[in-house]
Structure 1
Amino acid sequence: MHKLVKRTAEAQRAVARRTAKKTLNVYRRSKLERRSEQSQNVEEIAGDLRAARVARAEAWDLGPLTPRRDVDGNFTHGATLLSRNRPQTPFKAWEIEQRCAWAGGSKLLNIVKNDRVVVMEGPDKGKIDLINHIDLNNGVVELKTLGKYLTVVPDVHRKVDPSQPPTSAATGTLPISAIRLVHPLTDPVTGITRDVIVRSLTAGPVKRHRATGWKAWTRYITGLNVAVPWPEREVVKRVDHPADTLRAAVEEPTFVPSLLACPLPDTLIDELRNKYSKFRTRHEVEYVQRKEAEASEKKAGRVTAASMLTPLQEFNRQQRDVRRARGQPMLTEEMLEKVGQVIARNKAAALSAAGVSDVHETPAQLLDAARDGPSPTAQQ
Structure 2
Amino acid sequence: MERVIRRTILAKAAAARRYARETQQKLAYKRMKRAQYDAMLREHNRFVAKIRSELVEDVKMGPLAPVRGKDAKDRIARDLPSADAMRLPEVVEPRKFFNVAVGDRVVILNGKDRNKVGLVKEVDPDTDSVKVQGLNVYPVRTPEYFEGLDGGESPGMDQECSISYTDVRLVHPIEDPKTGVLRDAIVKKVRISNVRKDAQGKRTWTRWVAFSQTEIPWPKKTEPEYEDQQCDTKRMDAEERTYVPTLLKPPIPDGVIDELRGKFSKFRDRHDREYIEKKMREDEEEKARKKARVVTPLMDINRKIRREKIEKGKTQKLTSNILEQLGRTMAQSATPFMKERPNRVKILEEIERQEGAGFGFRPALGQLPARNLEGPPTTSQAAPPS
TM-score by length of 1: 0.39
TM-score by length of 2: 0.39
